[in-house]
């Protein structure tokens, strides 16, 4: 996976590649799907959600430019896989999901892997987790109609938000870097995510 799906397709950050190699993706998918755990595709999980394609997870992590000392917010815990990867790249991860069952399941897997620097929260991810802000970086694993203002406000100056933005033909994975009250915007790649449901996302 690391060589063929990631390095060969432009993932160059060695810390990201090492994290992706270290986290056992099969631990985060249902038993009947474990034979496809490392396939180059998203896979279904509970609550009609998905575990993202490995390249997408790596591309988000690379765009966040994590050095190891950061406080990171993750929107969309899902299975906990991306949180486990981020936990190897940052000092502490706060991960929020609107589905309590997914948060509980992720907690069990993260605990079984002795990953202790991930803090799980149940709530409206489109609003972030303001009580733990500001964040050095935010990874959003659901498509928003526009960059959620609450997430932008919770970034430190120089902080980075990666979020898929809805578009007509395909969602666009987008990086926004804070510069005072301005945000520099860079498109990363077309993608497809479940919608971000919440006050600053889509209605259910």
* Residues 102-116 pLDDT 10s: 999 999 999 999 999
Residue-level pLDDT at 7: 93
Query: In this structure, is residue 112 part of a structural domain?
Result: yes
**Whole-number Å distance between alpha carbons of 105 and 29:** 11
pLDDT at 72: 98
- DSSP tag of 13: -
CATH of the domain at 40: 3.40.50.150
Is pLDDT of 204 > 80? Answer: no
Q: What is the pLDDT of residue 137?
A: 98
In a domain, 202, yes or no: no
The answer as to whether 54 is a domain residue is yes
Sort residue 118 into left (φ over 0), alpha (ψ -120 to 50) or beta: beta
- Residues with a catalytic annotation lie at 52
CA atoms lying within 13 Å on the CB side of residue 147: 24
The pLDDT tens digits for 23-81 are 999 999 988 888 998 888 889 999 989 999 999 999 999 999 999 999 999 999 999 99
Radius of gyration of the chain from Cα atoms?
A: 15
Question: Could you tell me if residue 28 is inside a domain?
Answer: yes
Residue 199 within any structural domain of the chain: no
The total of structural domains in the chain comes to 1
Domain ranges, residue 102: 2-191
Of 154, 12, 22, 164, which is closest to residue 86 (Cα–Cα)? 22
Residue 144 lies in a domain: yes
Give a yes or no: residue 39 inside a domain.
yes
């Amino acid at each position: 996976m690391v060589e063929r799906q990631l390095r060969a397709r432009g993932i160059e950050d060695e810390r990201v590649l090492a994290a992706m190699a270290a986290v056992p993706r099969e631990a985060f998918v249902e038993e009947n799907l474990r034979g496809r755990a490392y396939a180059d595709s998203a896979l279904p999980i509970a609550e009609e959600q998905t575990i993202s394609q490995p390249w997408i997870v790596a591309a988000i992590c690379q765009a966040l430019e994590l050095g190891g000392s950061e406080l990171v917010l993750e929107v969309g815990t899902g299975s906990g896989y991306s949180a486990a990867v981020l936990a190897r790249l940052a000092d502490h991860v706060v991960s929020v999901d609107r589905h309590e069952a997914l948060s509980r399941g992720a907690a069990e897997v993260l605990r079984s892997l002795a990953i202790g620097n991930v803090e799980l929260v149940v709530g409206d991810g489109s609003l972030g987790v303001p009580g733990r802000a500001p964040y050095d970086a935010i990874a959003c694993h659901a498509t928003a109609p526009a960059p959620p203002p609450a997430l932008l406000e919770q970034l430190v100056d120089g902080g980075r938000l990666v979020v898929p933005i809805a578009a007509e033909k395909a969602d666009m994975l987008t990086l926004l870097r804070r510069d005072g009250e301005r945000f520099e915007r860079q498109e990363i790649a077309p993608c497809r995510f479940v919608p971000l449901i919440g006050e600053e996302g889509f209605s259910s």
